A and B are shown apart, each in its own frame.
Chain A
Amino acid sequence: MAVLLLAEVAGDTLAVDATAKAATAGAKLGDVTVLVCGPQAAADEAAKLDGVTKVLLADDAAYANGLAENLADLIVSLAGDYSHIIAPATTTGKNILPRVAALLDVMVITDVTEVVDADTFKRPVYAGNAVQTVKSTDATKVISFRTSTFDAAGSTGSAAVETVSGAGDKGLSAFVEDKVVESDRPELTSAKIVVSGGRGVGSEENFAIIEALADKLGAAVGASRAAVDSGFAPNDQQVGQTGKVVAPDLYIACGISGAIQHLAGMKDSKVIVAINKDEEAPIFQVADFGLVADLFDAVPELTEKL
């Protein structure tokens, strides 16, 4: 079995965590070739990942910025050599892989959490309220992997890097600009600790107390959909069915009731702490440590005493 993994490239650098986790998933299926659409340095980084046998580098500007139309055509032009085409289930992977699958006339299998065998995979449905095991009958399997359920591959390898080129720019779409949030905090999906705020935080200004605790712990900041909907936090901090899925060592939920859609995004965290003044809040049913308290008292106190 030969696997083609689309590396996650953020700006000019390899997103090592997401790519390394997808590499672990890919290694369960066969020899992993990584396709890096970015600069040489990103390809060199990918070549170090354990389990990777080859790196293909496409450094044409048409493949920068993750434009789906150009990238999907490039992947399809390489597809003949592979039984599986995979990517981490990032917004880039989610954007491109279904397009690749349709061009190959196969079904995409998204957000896979477990490899059963080369054709059979587990994935959550209904906001994680059910887990489906699906078996593909397609010749080529196109799969995105939920990174939170796979360990990152190590970086002790040294695969060869080959340059590939494709048809280039199809002229269907063009990059205008990125508004990337500049932050010194760790990236949400790979952080060891996540501190999240929900509707109970009450306002965008009040989110400062969530951020203060996060900074004290060197943690990433997350938010429930309710907090994002209310404008308290930006969407890229959203944890849940329609946002990001995280599984840190420690997840601290502040003023989050624990709607099913939120639990879908964090219930695989190793330890969950819930701080909520409503002792009936469903979040306490999944929390290892629950503290029934007003978050405006408890969170600053926690920040101060840690």
Chain B
Amino acid sequence: MKVLVPVKRVIDYNVKVKVKADGTGVDLANVKMSMNPFDEISVEEAIRLKEAGIASEVVIVSIGEKKATDTIRNALAMGADRGILVTEDQGVDLEPLAVAKILAKVVEEEAPELVILGKQAIDNDMNATGQMLAALLGWGQATFASEVKIEDGKAVVTREVDGGLQTISVNLPAIVTTDLRLNEPRYASLPNIMKAKKKPLDEKTAADYGVDTTPRLTVVTTEEPTGRQAGIKVGSVDELIAKLKEGGLV
């Protein structure tokens, strides 16, 4: 069974985001970029399926600017087999619909039985690409996975839902999107980082797939959120209770 894992290069989890003063976006110049954390979990899950003898090949795909090569190499260093880079550099974040359309074409070519994606990218926080890809392919979807089992041509997936956990089974081929607790991604070892440099990496462009990536949403402005002022420090639990009672809160 072939597993396809799309990964996105995003601003690093620990970077403090700064909004540009002119309202045109956030400042991404000279900030650390990394693989989207949920995508790392997806890569890890795919590699574990391979180690368990369930997956035969793990293929990584990333769509975006040329620098996304680093993100793919990172996934290859973790243990994936080969990569596909689809360059499409509009100077803006590609929308999930456009990404899903390109991925649908990649899926047609690669014919994986499972596509594992992160549930959301931590830049646009849209939480949409996996569901959209499932729709375009007419496949079943198991989103926000905390456990994935492959058995009898199905993926049995436990999902993180608002009230607790839900388990569903989805016919293969299927889309799975990963949540936080699915696994803990490994670090790539130095020898594996060296080996990853020799693993195959194909380059394509969005135009090769004939996909129209024109944005459907126009970003009018990007602003700082309305701030919150720090309040006061209280010296004791008694003082805290007095303040809460004053405000009618307890």
Contact = CB atoms under 8 A, between A and B. Distances in A.
B32 to A, nearest CB: 14
Given A271-B249, A288-B231, A99 B140 contact: no
B164 A178 contact: yes
Contacts of B225: 124, 128-131, 267
A68 to B, nearest CB: 5
Given A173-B171, A236-B162, A250 B127 contact: no
A41 interface: no
A287 B241 contact: no
B223 A138 contact: no
Nearest to A135: B218
Nearest to A67: B168
* Secondary structure class of chain A's binding surface, majority of residues: mixed
A91 B169 CA distance: 17
Contact of B217 (A136, A173, A286, A292): A136
Interface in A64-105: 65-69, 72, 90-92, 94-103, 105
A112 B175 CA distance: 25
Given A101-B128, A178-B164, A225-B180, A137 B216 contact: yes
Contacts of B127: 94, 98, 110-111
A130 B19 contact: yes
Interface stretch (B83-91, B116-124, B194-202, B203-211): B116-124
A78 B141 CA distance: 21
Interface residues of A, number: 91
A299 B218 CA distance: 47
B96 interface: yes
A297 B160 CA distance: 33
Contacts of B29: none
B163 interface: yes
B74 interface: no
B154 to A, nearest CB: 8
Interface stretch (A32-40, A42-50, A55-63, A227-235): A227-235
Given A108-B96, A127-B17, A175-B168, 16 more contacts: A65-B168, A101-B132, A103-B135, A108-B132, A109-B217, A125-B125, A126-B26, A129-B19, A134-B219, A172-B140, A177-B167, A178-B161, A267-B228, A289-B233, A290-B234, A305-B241
